[in-house]
Structures are given as structure tokens and as C-alpha cells.
Chains A and B, each alone.
Chain A
Amino acid sequence: MKYLPFIFRNLLRKKTRTILTIGSIAVALFLFGLLVTIETALNAGVDVAGVDRLIVRNKISLIMPLPLSYQERLRQIDNVSEATFATWFGAIYQEPKNFFPQFAIDTDTYRTVFPEFEISDAEWNAFLADREGAVVGKGTADRFGWKVGDRIPLQGTIWTGTWEFNIRAIYEGSRSGDDESQFWFQWKYLEERRQTSFGGGTVGWYTVKIDDPDQAVTVTGAIDEGFSNSAYETSTETEQAFAAGFAKQIGNIKMLIMSIGAVVLFTLLLVTGNTMAMAVRERVPELGVLKTLGFGDRTVLFLVLAESLVIATVGGAIGVGLAKLFTLGGDPTGGMLPVFYLSTGEMLLGLGIAIFVGLAAGSIPALTAMNLRIVDALRRV
């Protein structure tokens, strides 16, 4: 502690250089924070996917429907405890940028299959009692300032026309990664109104709850085999594989983020290392004087490393802090990344990276300072 004033004085010796270096680290760690947040957001479905749930979709494509009659047949398969369904609605609220996912759901079974979404019984019953009722996630409700009782008009794009809903319930995820952006309404309401257009008697996909996650492969095979050679063949996979496949449609995000992260880390090492190398080079005579006064080699090593650590830690804290502030503002894409947050663990990881950069970048200049011969250093006075 007694060396702290000396360390800070040295850091302020070249204020502009120190501030620019701290700024570089802050920008890099801010970028890191955002990349990690985006990666988390894209893989949120994978992380929170139930191990006991399977997604059954049309084998041709996710946008092709499946018959409503499959629900009963799915329930008959061994190890299947429940089967629910949903249909993508894809309507617009006021303008296209206000995106949020809307599903017409099977109200009889949906809550059983997705227990992680918490809704009070009173609100759920109010939703069931109103054919035009809707349940909305807390994230979307907060985003648009909706509350229970509000009447919300949506402009249909698949099933055209204006659809009006009454908000009867607001759900919250029980885990930090749960998607709180969804909007549910009764599939029966969709079915009634679309009788005059298309799609009647079909659903978008089924979510099947199984008794034993270890039987997932067997059940998957049984489902797809059971519907083979039919007009609506199925493709079944675990919810986790389904979510991962969804994320992979955008590309190998993890690889991309790791690559960018590695480049950023390497650049940081160069920037910080260069700053510390210059600082030591300029101060060779002073380091010689310190050693002359009795400062040992290890103390000199510590002083230089401490400077590097302070620069990196301050920069890292600012960068990670700014990233956290940014994510507190919520999803900046208007609904494309519903789970948008920077966890404490990821913040600590960012700080850890900054500390590693500080140690690595400062190590060579610090060793140079440590090994400096006094007689050589004093010759440069």
C-alpha cells in the first residue's frame, strides 16, 4: 500500500498516454462484453432448453404445418407424458421494427409443458375466460408499457387484418435466461378467425414432454417412424438441438466471437506492452537510482507490474462497466435478442482477461527493469 502513491504518480507522468491506453482497454473490454452478451442471447434458447422436451416439426420445413390430430397420436407414444402445440403468428404491432414473437398456443397443455414461465392462477384463468385474451412476457410488457387490461391491436401478416387482444396475464421466467418477450393467445381464436382463409386444423409445431430424458433418442425415432410415409412427415429433435440449430442459422457465433476476442486480446497485449516498454525505457536512470537507494530487483519488478496492472484493471473495469450499462437498456435490436444481459460471471471473466493482459503485457518490461544493472542505468543519467 505504501507504494501506491508512487505507482499512481508514475502513471500520471504521461497522462495522455496512460489515458489512451486505458481507453483502448476499455473499448476492447466493452466490445468483449457486447460480444459475450450477443453470444448469450443467441444461445439463450440452448442454455435454458428443457432436457425433457422434444420439438416435432414438419420434415419439409419449420414453416410447413402439422395436423392438429397428431396431438393425440403423440400422446400415445411410450414415454410421452404430454404434447402441446403452437403456431407462429407473425403480426406487427404499430410498425415492423416493434418485433416480438407471437404464438397461438394450446391453452389446455401449454402451461404444463413450460412450467418455467410463471403466471398467477388468477391471471391465467382470466386469460382462459377471454377468447381474445393474451399472455405477454414481462420484457415485452415493459418495452411497450403494457399492463393487464390493455387492449392491443396487431396487424396480421400471415392471416391478414387487424387482430385485437386483451392483455390478461404477464408471465415471468423463473431463470435468468428465460425468454420474456413472447406473446401468447388462444389457438382456438386463431382457428375461428382463419376459417375463411387457410391453415385450418393445423398447428405450427409440437412440443412433447417425455418422462425420461435418457429415452429421448428412442422417443424421437418412434415419433418420426410413426408419421413416416404420411402427408405430414415429421422431424423430431430435442429442444436443445432445435435451439442450437436455430442459432447456427446465423453462423458459428461462438467461433466468430472467439476469433474477434483473440484478436482484441492480442491487440491489447501489444498496446499495453508498448506503453509499459516505453515507460520503462524512459525511466532507466530513475530505476537505477531506485536500485541504488536499496530497492531490490523484485520490488522494482513489482512496481512496473503494478503500473501495468492498474492500467489494465482500470481500463477493464470501465469497459465492462459500460457494457453492463449498455445491456441494462435491454435488447437494442427491437426483439431479435430477447435475452440480452451481461451476467456477473461474464463481467468477472472480462476483468480476469484485463488482469491477464496487464500481467502479460507488463511482464517483459518488468523483467527488463528487474534485470537492469545499476552501473549501466546510472551511466544514462
Chain B
Amino acid sequence: MVSIDGKEHSDSLIRVRNLNKVYRRGGETINVLQGLNLDVEKGEFVAFMGPSGSGKTTLRNLLGGLDTPTSGTVTVDGDEITHMSGRHLASWRARHVGFIFQMYNLIPVLTAFQNVELPLLLTKLSKAQRRQHVETALSLVGLPDRMKHYPRQLSGGQEQRVAIARAIVTDPTFLLCDEPTGDLDRKAAEEILDLLTELESNHGKTILMVTHDPLAAERADMTLHLDKGALVEAAS
């Protein structure tokens, strides 16, 4: 169950409390997020929508441990991340978050296999174990035959599949997607959304997705709108 009321929910995997983020540009103060609350249980698929400048990217950064809030807390699976040091936060991201970006963000000089293997380099897995994990992840996204291909040799949809394989290869606590279909044609977008839905329904993945695309948001269990720095329930 997803809730934004700030009341305690014992089953929450992700718990956000009274989250504030203030930017100062020149002499101006911009309150991007104001007292935001959120609870997400394991296995939920949540979409965040909102116009440009509403704070979607800021929310992504804070949920993913890429930035620190002005005040408030973000707790994931019992770990309160807002006060972690940079080093601990990096280690936490490696274990708990699978990032999927709009522009795929694959390393162009590495093959699909090597791109997917990247997060595993931070683990203590042996080379053989890493290979097994990478092959499993690439098979799961339907690209077992593209391991030796470089990103430039893949279509946009295939690149995004490789990016999803990279996000799931460490079996993270949740996936954080930022406009995952924003750079794809409709057919490829549908395939990616099918894949995300499958990861949620068949593999129990918790997915948080920032999107502009209403069709993408429709695939989520719940869509939340960002309005004046707070979340508003839109549909379920």
C-alpha cells in the first residue's frame, strides 16, 4: 500500500517524513519540496508525475541518495539515509537502488555484458559468479544474445533493456526510474513498460518511477502528483 499522509505504517519499505528541500539561487529562496510524506510497501509500483520544475528530479535525487534534504528523513528498509556520510551513501546505493535513466547512461566503451557487470565490480563476487549474475540479468530482459554488443550497436529499446539489466543485476531493494520511456518510440516504450510491470508482478520488485508520460503512469499501481512541493494522490 502507498500512502502520503505521514501516518506510521509498519509495513513500509520506503518511509519519507516531512521532507523539505530548499534551493538558494542568488538572493532567491526556492522551496522545491515542502513537508513531503510518503510510504511505499515492498512490491509496489509508484509513478510520480508533475510539470517541469515541480520537483520530480529533486525527489528522485533524495529517494536515491544522490542528494541530501534540507530537512526531513528518508528511510529505506530500516536504513535512515539522510544523515549517512558520502562513503556510506555510495555503498548503500550500490546495495539498495537500481537506477534507470531516460538516456540509458550506458558506458559507450563497454559491451552490454561489461555495462551490466559494472555494479558487481563493487561486490566481492568472483569473476565466475559475476558472469552468472550478468547472464541471468541479460536473459531476464531478453538480450542474452547481445552481450558482446556495444551500446552504439543496439537500438534505443535494447539500450534501455541493458540499463534495466544493470539496475537489477545486484538485486536491489527498489528500482528508481527517471523517465524510462522518455527517449523511446511508442512500441519500444510499451516493451520497456511491459518489462517493468513483469519485474514488479513476477519478481516482486518495488519500483518508483518519475515520468511525464500518462501511458507509462497507467502501468503503476498508484500515480502521485507533485503539487507545490507536496505529493497529491491522483489515481490508482
Docked complex Cα distance between A95 and B87 (Å): 73
B66 in contact with A286 (CB, 8 Å): no
The yes or no answer to B1 lying at the interface (CB within 8 A) is no
B64 in contact with A2 (CB, 8 Å): no
B87 in contact with A293 (CB, 8 Å): no
| Set of chain B residues within 8 Å of A293, measured between Cβ atoms | 93-94, 99, 118-119, 122, 166
Given contacts A295-B122, A296-B86, A381-B105, 16 further A-B contacts (CB under 8 A): A2-B121, A6-B110, A6-B118, A9-B109, A9-B110, A10-B109, A13-B108, A291-B90, A292-B64, A293-B118, A293-B119, A294-B91, A296-B87, A374-B66, A375-B66, A378-B101
| Set of chain B residues within 8 Å of A299, measured between Cβ atoms | 122
Complex interface bits, B61-96 against A, C-beta within 8 A gives 1, otherwise 0: 100101100000000000000000011001111110
B109 in contact with A296 (CB, 8 Å): no
Nearest first, the 7 A-B pairs at minimum CB distance are A294-B94, A9-B109, A296-B90, A289-B105, A294-B93, A374-B66, A293-B119
Docked complex Cα distance between A312 and B140 (Å): 42
Interface centre among A5, A9, A285, A374 (most CB of B within 10 A): A374
Residue of A nearest to B95 (CB): A294
Please report which residues of chain A, range 287-327, place their CB below 8 angstroms from some CB of chain B when the two chains form the complex.
289-299
Please report which residues of chain B, range 105-124, place their CB below 8 angstroms from some CB of chain A when the two chains form the complex.
105, 107-110, 114, 118-119, 121-122
| Set of chain A residues within 8 Å of B108, measured between Cβ atoms | 13
B66 in contact with A292 (CB, 8 Å): yes
The yes or no answer to B147 lying at the interface (CB within 8 A) is no
A378 in contact with B114 (CB, 8 Å): no
Complex interface bits, A133-157 against B, C-beta within 8 A gives 1, otherwise 0: 0000000000000000000000000
The yes or no answer to B148 lying at the interface (CB within 8 A) is no
B: residues with CB less than 8 A from A are: 61, 64, 66-67, 86-87, 90-95, 99, 101, 103, 105, 107-110, 114, 118-119, 121-122, 127, 166
Please report which residues of chain A, range 339-381, place their CB below 8 angstroms from some CB of chain B when the two chains form the complex.
374-375, 378, 381
Residue of A nearest to B122 (CB): A294
Docked complex Cα distance between A338 and B109 (Å): 51
A-B contact count (CB 8 A): 66
A289 in contact with B107 (CB, 8 Å): yes
B101 in contact with A381 (CB, 8 Å): yes
CB distance from B167 to the nearest CB of A (A): 9
- The binding surface of chain A is classed by DSSP as helix
Docked complex Cα distance between A33 and B94 (Å): 47
What are 15 A-B pairs at a CB distance below 8 A? A6-B118, A9-B107, A9-B114, A13-B108, A291-B90, A292-B99, A293-B93, A293-B118, A294-B95, A295-B94, A297-B90, A299-B122, A374-B67, A375-B66, A375-B67
A294 in contact with B119 (CB, 8 Å): yes
Residue of A nearest to B92 (CB): A294
Residue of A nearest to B103 (CB): A381
| Set of chain B residues within 8 Å of A285, measured between Cβ atoms | 105
Residue of B nearest to A285 (CB): B105
| Set of chain A residues within 8 Å of B91, measured between Cβ atoms | 294, 296
CB distance from A274 to the nearest CB of B (A): 21
B90 in contact with A286 (CB, 8 Å): no
Docked complex Cα distance between A375 and B108 (Å): 21
| Set of chain A residues within 8 Å of B90, measured between Cβ atoms | 291, 294-297
The yes or no answer to A260 lying at the interface (CB within 8 A) is no
CB distance from A290 to the nearest CB of B (A): 7
Docked complex Cα distance between A285 and B107 (Å): 10
CB distance from A214 to the nearest CB of B (A): 62
| Set of chain A residues within 8 Å of B109, measured between Cβ atoms | 9-10, 12-13
Residue of A nearest to B96 (CB): A294
Docked complex Cα distance between A307 and B101 (Å): 27
| Set of chain B residues within 8 Å of A378, measured between Cβ atoms | 66, 101
Residue of B nearest to A8 (CB): B109
B86 in contact with A290 (CB, 8 Å): no
Please report which residues of chain A, range 1-31, place their CB below 8 angstroms from some CB of chain B when the two chains form the complex.
2-3, 5-6, 9-10, 12-13
B61 in contact with A375 (CB, 8 Å): yes
A297 in contact with B87 (CB, 8 Å): yes
Residue of B nearest to A14 (CB): B109
CB distance from B183 to the nearest CB of A (A): 11
Complex interface bits, A267-298 against B, C-beta within 8 A gives 1, otherwise 0: 00000000000000000011001111111111
| Set of chain B residues within 8 Å of A296, measured between Cβ atoms | 86-87, 90-91
Interface centre among B99, B105, B118 (most CB of A within 10 A): B105
Docked complex Cα distance between A229 and B83 (Å): 92
CB distance from A13 to the nearest CB of B (A): 5
CB distance from B236 to the nearest CB of A (A): 30
Given known pairs A285-B105, A292-B99, A375-B67, the reply for A297 and B94 (CB within 8 Å) is no
